[in-house]
């Protein structure tokens, strides 16, 4: 079967920002941005049988974003987002919501068979139901698919088991400078530079080929077994940074799948995420000159 779809699986929710509600959730952001580079993408999640769920499905329909979104009895997820003076978000995430209960379905079996790459994180794995669905989806895909673990540590919604199991599956790891310290401590790595910590993780997990480390306003790194790429973060007028990391991951993956080099993919990811920082919310339309592969 032709593998033609890039999937974001996990939470889909409303970010309740100071200026109002915006659709969010890292997997949905990822799938949306991948689609802007011409790839067929799909979101796998769950929403409630409520008005907020109806609104999410309508937005996906208008954006022509394919999805396998289940309707479940729990309420559609919401997150209260507060922004610091320099636009850095903090999150208050409601529990026992729809995306904690993503069911395993026949549709997901079929989708996994045609998936070219999947992006998953830690947050939706806080519940056994969604964790089981995410891991079954990954196990159902062909061995040669890209599996991107965009770690997205939030509040207390992670543990060693979730992180290790997710890393064992992953071919690409994306994390930020706050998360690398937490992950290093969880895994019992020796103290070292950021690069040394990332390279320890690369060596620990045989399937892992690429580690992406973003360091906010300082810059970002991409590490492979024999390559290091560093690019400073462009200076832009920040509206907010919500979804900037997701757009970085999506752009990088879209470029790698299009056959670009690590450096080319990294350059494009930096440019797109810098643009997203100048816009409100996680899903702005990327200008056509940036969206060209």
Write out pLDDT tens, residues 174-192.
999 999 999 999 999 988 8
CATH of 5-285, one of 2.40.50.100, 3.40.1190.20, 3.40.50.720, 3.30.70.260: 3.40.1190.20
Rounded CA-CA distance 228/119 in Å is 22
Tens-place pLDDT, residues 8-41 = 999 999 988 777 888 888 999 999 999 999 999 9
What single string gives the DSSP state of each residue in 247-275? HHHHHHHHHHHTT--HHHHHHHHHHHHHH
Which pLDDT value is given to residue 172? 98
Rounded CA-CA distance 85/156 in Å is 24
Tens-place pLDDT, residues 256-280 = 999 999 999 999 999 999 988 888 7
Rounded CA-CA distance 133/224 in Å is 29
- Residue 78's pLDDT band (boundaries 50, 70, 90)? very high
The answer to whether 269 and 245 are in contact (CB under 8 A) is no
In sequence order, which residues have a C-beta less than 8 Å from that of residue 79 and are 6 or more positions away?
A: 13, 14, 15, 16, 24, 91, 92, 93, 94
In the sheet that holds 210-215, the strands lie side by side as: 66-72, 40-48, 5-9, 115-120, 146-150, 172-176, 210-215, 219-224, 227-232
Which pLDDT value is given to residue 161? 96
Tens-place pLDDT, residues 94-125 = 899 999 999 999 999 999 999 999 999 999 99
What is the residue extent of each domain of the chain?
Answer: 5-285
Q: What is the pTM of this model?
A: 0.93
Q: CA quadruple 213, 194, 177, 128: dihedral positive or negative?
A: positive
Instruction: Look up tokens 């200008």; give the residue.
Output: 287
Which pLDDT value is given to residue 117? 97
- Residue 63's pLDDT band (boundaries 50, 70, 90)? confident
């Amino acid at each position: 079967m032709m593998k033609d779809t890039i999937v974001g699986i996990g939470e889909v929710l409303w970010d309740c920002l100071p200026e109002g509600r915006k659709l969010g959730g890292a997997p949905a952001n990822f799938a949306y941005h991948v689609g802007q580079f011409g790839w067929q993408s799909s979101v796998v999640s769950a929403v409630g049988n409520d008005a907020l769920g109806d609104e999410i499905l309508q937005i996906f329909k208008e954006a022509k974003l394919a999805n396998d979104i289940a309707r479940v009895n729990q309420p559609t997820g919401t997150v209260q987002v507060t922004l610091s003076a320099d636009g850095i978000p903090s999150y208050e995430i409601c529990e026992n919501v729809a995306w904690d209960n993503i069911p395993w379905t026949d549709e997901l079996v079929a989708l996994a068979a045609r998936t070219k790459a999947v992006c998953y994180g830690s947050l939706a794995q806080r519940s056994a139901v969604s964790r089981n669905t995410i891991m079954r989806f990954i196990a159902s895909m062909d061995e040669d698919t890209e599996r991107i673990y965009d770690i997205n540590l939030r509040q207390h919604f992670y543990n060693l088991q979730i992180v290790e199991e997710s890393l064992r599956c992953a071919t690409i790891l994306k994390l930020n400078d706050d998360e690398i310290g937490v992950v290093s401590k969880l895994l019992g790595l020796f103290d070292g530079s950021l690069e040394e910590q990332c390279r320890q993780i690369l060596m620990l997990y045989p399937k892992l080929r690429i580690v992406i480390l973003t360091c906010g306003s300082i810059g970002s790194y991409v590490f492979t077994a024999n390559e290091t790429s560093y690019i400073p973060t462009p200076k832009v007028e920040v509206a907010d940074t919500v979804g900037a990391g997701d757009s970085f991951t999506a752009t990088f993956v879209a470029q790698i799948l299009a056959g670009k080099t690590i450096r080319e993919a990294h350059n494009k990811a930096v440019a797109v995420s810098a643009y997203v920082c100048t816009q409100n919310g996680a899903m702005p339309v990327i200008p056509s000159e940036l969206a060209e592969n």
